[in-house]
Chains A and B, each alone.
Chain A
Amino acid sequence: MFAEGERQERWLSAEAATAAGYTIIDLNDEWTPFLFEELADPAGRPLPNRYRRVFIGLANDELDGDGQPLEPGGKNYLEVYGIFPSLSVIRDRFLLDEKRTCAVPDDQAAMLAQKSISYVAPPAAKRNAAKQKKAFAELEKARIAANVDTLAALATAQPKQAAKLKEYERWAADQAAIAAAERRLICEGFLPEPEVSAKKKGPLKHEPLMQDEAMRLALRSFQQKHMIYDGHSFRPRTLEALAKPTLENDHAALVRAFRERVIAAADVLEDGSTETKKGPVMYTSASGEKVPLRNLAEEYTKAALEQLGLDTVDGALAFFKRHDDAEFKHLRAGVKLGPRPEYYAPHMELSIVVDRGDVWYDPWFDDQDRWRYPSRSRYPSLTLYVEYRGEKFPLTRWRTTIGGWRAEQAANGYEYYKYKGSDTGPRVIRKIVSGPVWIAPESTPIRSLVKSKKVEGRWQNVVNYDELGPGYLSAYGVVAGYFVIPGQGDAPDVDRGIRAHGSSNYLSIYSDTGYSHGCHRLPNHLAIRLYDFLLQHRHMIVKGDSPMEFSRQFLSGDQVYDMRIPSRGFEFELDPPISVSVLEGTVRGTLKEPVEGFVPKPGKRYPPPPPAELEGETTASGAAAVDKGAP
Chain B
Amino acid sequence: MSEPDSAFARALAWLRQTWNQAPPTLKQRWPWFIAGGAVLGFLVVIATRSSTPEGEGGQGPTATQAEGRAGSAGEGDPGEPGSAPVQPPLDPKATVADAGAPLSPNVKLTFRTFPPRRATVHWGNKRLGFIDRGKPLVIERVRDSGPLDVVVRSPGYLTVHARAYTFNDAIVDVKITPVEKKDTIYGYQQPLADAGAPELFPIAP
| A contact set with B: CB distance below 8 Å | 41, 45-48, 50, 53, 63, 66-68, 362-363, 365, 367, 409, 412-414, 442, 446, 453-458, 460-463, 465, 544-545, 547-556, 558-562, 564, 566-567, 591, 595, 597-600, 602-608, 610
Contacts and interface: CB of A to CB of B under 8 A. Distances in A.
Nearest to A64: B146
Interface in B118-172: 123-126, 144-147, 149, 151, 158-163, 165, 167, 170, 172
A58 to B, nearest CB: 12
Given A362-B205, A555-B182, A547 B92 contact: yes
Contact of B149 (A47, A453, A555, A599): A453
A554 B187 contact: yes
B91 interface: yes
B144 A67 contact: yes
Nearest to B166: A67
A588 to B, nearest CB: 15
A559 B149 contact: no
Chain B interface size, as a band, is 35 or more
B95 A567 contact: yes
Contact of B175 (A362, A455, A456, A562): A562
B97 interface: yes
B165 A566 contact: yes
B199 A606 contact: yes
B161 A412 contact: no
Contacts of B176: 560
Interface of B: 87, 89-92, 95-97, 99-100, 123-126, 144-147, 149, 151, 158-163, 165, 167, 170, 172, 174-177, 179, 182, 185-193, 198-201, 203-205
A552 B124 contact: no
Contact of A456 (B123, B144, B188, B199): B123
Given A595-B205, A599-B203, A605 B192 contact: yes
Contacts of A560: 158-161, 176-177, 185
Contacts of A558: 158-159, 179, 182
A562 B175 CA distance: 8
A414 B182 CA distance: 16
B123 A455 contact: yes
17 contacts: A45-B99, A66-B147, A365-B203, A455-B124, A457-B125, A552-B186, A553-B87, A560-B159, A562-B174, A567-B95, A599-B204, A599-B205, A600-B201, A605-B198, A605-B200, A607-B191, A608-B199
Given A456-B123, A555-B188, A564-B163, 20 more contacts: A67-B144, A367-B203, A412-B189, A442-B186, A446-B187, A453-B149, A456-B126, A457-B125, A460-B161, A463-B161, A550-B90, A551-B90, A553-B87, A559-B160, A564-B90, A566-B167, A595-B205, A598-B204, A605-B192, A607-B192
Contacts of A465: 147, 163
A413 B190 contact: yes
A48 B158 CA distance: 37
A564 B5 CA distance: 68
Contacts of A599: 203-205
B38 to A, nearest CB: 48
Nearest to A599: B204
B185 A414 contact: no
A442 B170 CA distance: 26
B161 A413 contact: no
A427 B174 CA distance: 40
A598 B201 CA distance: 11
Given A48-B97, A545-B97, A68 B91 contact: no
Given A460-B124, A460-B161, A608-B199, A547 B205 contact: no
A361 to B, nearest CB: 9
Interface hub of B91, B146, B151 (most chain A Cβ within 10 A)? B146
